[in-house]
Amino acid sequence: MKDSEDILTGVFFCSSNYRYSSNFSFFIFPILLLLHLSVILESLETWKQKLSEGEFEELELLLELYSQAQGMEMTAAFVCGFKNGTAMMIEVMVDD
């Protein structure tokens, strides 16, 4: 219930970092993602050869934790955008 009150009162806790500058990023993103993934995989192979088995497992664990944190940040960004969009629709629909 608190979230809906926040939406109606206009209270948002969102960062301005979640803005898209153009539609171009929508088309180029998959290509960049594939390039980054190949670089990451090559890097992991290099680290696997340099580190001991235990150290590499620690690195994998750290990367997994980072991935989880990034997922939480993406979820928060989605919620923030959803709240902002809902607030805009409410503002347009409500007659003052």
Question: Digits of tens for pLDDT over the chain (96 positions)?
Answer: 444 444 444 444 454 444 444 455 555 667 777 788 888 889 989 999 999 999 999 999 998 999 899 989 999 999 999 999 998 899 888 866
Q: 62: helix, coil or strand? A: helix
- Report pLDDT for 95: 67
- Report pLDDT for 61: 93
- Report pLDDT for 13: 47
Contact of 7 with 83, CB cutoff 8 Å: yes
- Report pLDDT for 1: 41
pTM above 0.75, yes or no: no
Sign of CA dihedral 4, 7, 12, 16: positive
Sign of CA dihedral 2, 19, 89, 9: positive
